[in-house]
Amino acid sequence: MIGNVAEFPVVYFGILTAGAVVVPIHLLLTATEVAYVLRDSEAKLIVCHGPTTEVAILAADEAGVAVVPADPTAGLDPTTLIEWSRSRLPKHKYPRQVHVVDVLPTGPSHKVLKRELRETFSRS
């Protein structure tokens, strides 16, 4: 239960690299509905982030699975991410630059303002 945040690809590909299966869960489900998905998929754990943590904990308790909160304070080392990508992705797909930001600029509709990102990082 992770929304559109920087931790999502790290968690997603980490799960796949570990040989496990990712079962996406809609962020607006209730704890009872999430518990049903967990039981039905025979999940062993649920990864959650931010506002979904409370629902994930309640659902995990009901379904009897472990909860792993994605920790945004753990830090993301751009050099490590680039090297990891370089060793696993074709040359034309791995990132040449990684910029870690605390908050993405969003507009009134909560969409990411890509123009502001381009302007900010084209200067660096």
Q: Which two tokens stand for residue 47?
A: 């990864």
Q: What is the pTM of this model?
A: 0.55
Cβ(61)–Cβ(79) below 8 Å:
no
Residue with tokens 């409370």: 54
Domains of the chain (ranges; CATH) run 7-73 (no CATH), 76-122 (3.30.300.30)
Full pLDDT tens readout for the chain, 124 residues: 777 777 788 888 888 888 889 998 998 999 999 999 999 999 988 888 877 888 888 898 889 888 877 765 555 678 887 887 888 888 888 888 877 776 778 888 877 788 888 888 886 5
What values do phi and psi take at 27, rounded to 5?
-70, -15
User: What is the dihedral angle through the alpha carbons of 33, 35, 41, 44, rounded to the nearest 10 degrees?
Assistant: 150
In angstroms, the Cα distances linking 46 to 6, 23, 24, 33 are 18, 9, 10, 14
User: What is the dihedral angle through the alpha carbons of 3, 71, 114, 88, rounded to the nearest 10 degrees?
Assistant: -100
Q: 3-state DSSP call for residue 68?
A: strand
User: Nearest Cα to 2, choosing from 55, 48, 59, 61?
Assistant: 48
